[in-house]
Amino acid sequence: MKYGYFDNKKNEYVIDRIDVPVSWTNYIGVKDMCGVFNHTAGGYLFYKSPEYHRITRFRPNGVPMDRPGHYVYVRDNETKDYWTLSWQPVGKSLDDAKYICRHGLSYIKYQCEYKGIKGEQKLFIPLDDAVEVWDVTLKNESGKKRSLSVFSYVEFSFHHITTDNQNFQMSLYSSGSSYKDGIIEIDLFYEPDGFQYFTSNETDDGNAAFDCLRDSFIGQYRTESNPLAVESGQCSGSFELGGNHCGALRRTIELNPGEEKRLVFLLGEGNREAGKKAREKYCSNNFSKTDAAFTELADFWKEKLSKLQIETPHEGMNAMINTWTLYQAEINVIFSRFASFIEVGGRTGLGYRDTSQDAMMVPHSNPEKSRARLVELLKGLTAAGYGLHLFSPEWFEKQTKPAFKSPTVVPMPSKSERIHGIEDVCADDALWLIPAIAEYIRETGDFNFAEEKYPYADTFDSDGAEESVFDHMKRILDFSAREVGPHGICKGLRADWNDCLNLGGGESAMVSFLHHWALVHFCALGRKLGKDVSEYEKMAAIVKASCEKELWNGSWYTRGFTSAGRAIGSPDCKEGRVFMESNTWAVLSGAVSKERGIAAMDAVDKFLYTPFGLKLCDPAFSQPDDDVGFVTRVYKGLKENAAIFSHPNPWAWAAEAMLGRGDRAIKFYDALCPYNQNDLIEVRKAEPYMYCQFITGPDHSAFGRANHPFMTGSAGWAYFAATRFILGIRPDFDCLVIDPCIPASWPSFKVRRVWRDAVYNITVENPNGVSKGVKECKLNGKPVVCKDPAASAAAVTAAGAAVAAAGAAAEVPEQARGSENEVRVIMG
């Protein structure tokens, strides 16, 4: 069953059957103001922090689903019939009304046709203004004159989510609303400069034109589905100091047959004066600035997408990589995970491991933000070499203003609260930062970054020494080298990447493999910078030896050891016998032989493959076992307990590509690919344009259901693995490596890649039907060096490949900035 389709020309996903089974969401805003909305305009808006500066209210996990939202009601003044442009909350019968939702890149269009009136509500946020624009058009296609009243509606939130949800004897009496000059102003009295405005290009006169009080607009014993104001055709001119506030403006319009009218509503940050300025800007000159702002937003995304465009025989991969997977990865970097319908803003700040991985995925399309995130993470590293698991970058910025005491001001915890001890360390967190830094430098050529100096989290406010980025990296590696258990394998500490596999603080194969991967990246960077990295090369050799000695169990790679020394993820285990993390990372890390890598990945295929992707482990745990961890207290087939956890799936694609098995890599890619499930929504339920955190596994009755869209590192990894390993285009420090691993049946593919301001139009031909190996490469007609990746520095760094690959790769030297280059590659 399908509910929509990919409009690749417009980069939109079009929902043409609006009654989708769960919310299908999208994000608007790319800087300070952001909003999360679903297919029926349910959702919320915030400024900078979804926890401390929520602008509009949201009742998550509620009934009915996903309310309230940012709605436009239309009322026919003759028949008194009314509807919403976004289907819900009025929810007209779909036999009478036609609804479409177009999710675009940082905008959403809600389109509706009902009783001869064609309407559209477009939501977006201009790049450089903290204002949400609702661009509304209504066209009369009924053949007779119509009199309509249009009502906007939003419900305001008290900025701080906790204040908004509890202790109403405080919150209800410290913010007020007023209406003047066509502008609603919300004053959060307890905050300095705590104002929001809501206005539009034109409203009616008098009290019928507005409501600032939610309960007056909605009316008693009613909901957003049948507001009193809309039903009666009149607002009541309500406002008050204290109470629950809304932004409702009414405009009555007459439309002749064929006539179209445009209305623009503005919901912004700031007071009435700011609202006046915004109205002047966006509503004058026939809305030319509104149009220009929308074009700028489109150009912003066009520019990002242009950095890498592919044309392969795989339609789904083309659509996902060219648009949706990059978009999802970027949104994760911008929003940093804590604003969605699942994480509704109760947490704030940066998760160390998630942010490091997110930053690694988009240095080509968002180098500034990647760099900014890396710097925030460097400052969130302790001098002991571990990262703060969850921290706010503001903690490590010099305070310029004296702190104002208010629930909505992001608090500054005491130093001891900010800097957690070893008991709260997740052993993998900071290791991710090293490859992220290396990848940023490979992409940008910003070698000086390695020498920049930053403080550590615990030396920041005590005049402690600043150290170079390179030294920060050393501290991370030294920490992992110190924190090993009796097998010489890294301790898992509170947890590793798998939040739920705590191993009672035992040892984690994943962390040791990650340690090796980080060492490979670090040594390659160090060598490139002319540094002596021999100490770390030795460290890598020790890690490799321990991994091969202690983790190879004869069939695949063991996942770890509990604190009591029990092996997990090994053939003797009844439950949790095979794990994805240890086997994929064995290969990715470059620490193991090709032969064992193949056996490990064969076990992944044999035990973990399902038609919806690879399970995280098998068999699922059925008995609570605190030595293993919280994973044993999650139902079978859900989350980390043998669900198809999306994030590690691309690790398997990359591992297979490193082993030269292109058909297997695509088999795994296809199983998880949301695009492939567009017509299977009765099973998938969630958006087919987004990766979800996990797909329910076969041990559960809801096998195949996708859960928690958008905010997951799966997209970044999917992008990274597909582009750098399957298509095999990956920058190194001074060349662009071309090392594809594709299905043998692909005759060719093309990639347009912008790297360090030069364009590379790459055509890869596969006349002999191989999966891996470059026979010949020409750059602008001249031959290019092709080497066995195992022997080439490029592959040892980017692919971490001690695993000998099944063929040579091309190394295209960096070309002049501004140049456009033709690269022709023949596989064979």
Binding site for ligand NOJ (CB under 6 A): 351, 353-354, 497-500, 640
What's the min distance (Å) between Cβ of 351 and ligand NOJ? 6
* Closest residue by Cα to residue 365 from 39, 726, 719: 719
> What is the spatial distance between Cα 573 and Cα 570, in angstroms, rounded to a whole number?
6
Per DSSP, the three-state class of 640 is coil
Between 430 and 729, name the residue whose CB sits nearer to ligand NOJ.
430
What's the min distance (Å) between Cβ of 730 and ligand NOJ? 23
Query: Among positive and negative, which fits the CA dihedral 706, 707, 708, 712?
Result: negative
What's the min distance (Å) between Cβ of 514 and ligand NOJ? 12
Between 267 and 518, name the residue whose CB sits nearer to ligand NOJ.
518
Q: Which of 499, 602, 625, 734 is catalytic?
A: 499
What's the min distance (Å) between Cβ of 429 and ligand NOJ? 9
What's the min distance (Å) between Cβ of 26 and ligand NOJ? 21
Q: How many CB atoms lie within 10 A of CB 415?
A: 13
Token pair listed for 67: 């309310």
Between 121 and 714, name the residue whose CB sits nearer to ligand NOJ.
714
> What is the spatial distance between Cα 333 and Cα 359, in angstroms, rounded to a whole number?
6
Between 353 and 684, name the residue whose CB sits nearer to ligand NOJ.
353
Contact 629, 502 (CB under 8 A): yes
Token pair listed for 438: 């290396």
What's the min distance (Å) between Cβ of 585 and ligand NOJ? 13
Between 118 and 633, name the residue whose CB sits nearer to ligand NOJ.
633
* Closest residue by Cα to residue 299 from 120, 105, 108: 105
* Closest residue by Cα to residue 582 from 528, 666, 661, 503: 503
What's the min distance (Å) between Cβ of 397 and ligand NOJ? 24
> What is the spatial distance between Cα 790 and Cα 768, in angstroms, rounded to a whole number?
23
Contact 57, 68 (CB under 8 A): yes
> What is the spatial distance between Cα 151 and Cα 135, in angstroms, rounded to a whole number?
13
- Amino acid in the structure at residue 726: I
Between 314 and 353, name the residue whose CB sits nearer to ligand NOJ.
353
Between 146 and 639, name the residue whose CB sits nearer to ligand NOJ.
639
Between 200 and 498, name the residue whose CB sits nearer to ligand NOJ.
498
**DSSP code of residue 320:** I
* Closest residue by Cα to residue 763 from 326, 317, 311, 443: 311
- Amino acid in the structure at residue 95: D
> What is the spatial distance between Cα 524 and Cα 511, in angstroms, rounded to a whole number?
20
What's the min distance (Å) between Cβ of 617 and ligand NOJ? 12
Concatenating the DSSP letter of every residue in 730-750 gives EE-SSEEEE--B--TT--EEE
Cα atoms found within 13 Å of the Cα of residue 420, Cβ hemisphere only: 14
Per DSSP, the three-state class of 693 is strand
Q: Is 499 in the active site? A: yes
> CB nearest ligand NOJ: which residue?
499
> What is the spatial distance between Cα 585 and Cα 559, in angstroms, rounded to a whole number?
10
Per DSSP, the three-state class of 15 is strand
Between 141 and 499, name the residue whose CB sits nearer to ligand NOJ.
499
> What is the spatial distance between Cα 825 and Cα 828, in angstroms, rounded to a whole number?
10
Quote the strand ranges of 557-691, DSSP E.
560-561, 567-568, 578-579, 609-610, 613-614, 617-618, 644-645
What's the min distance (Å) between Cβ of 332 and ligand NOJ? 10
Q: How many CB atoms lie within 10 A of CB 132?
A: 26
- Amino acid in the structure at residue 109: K
Positions marked active-site:
499
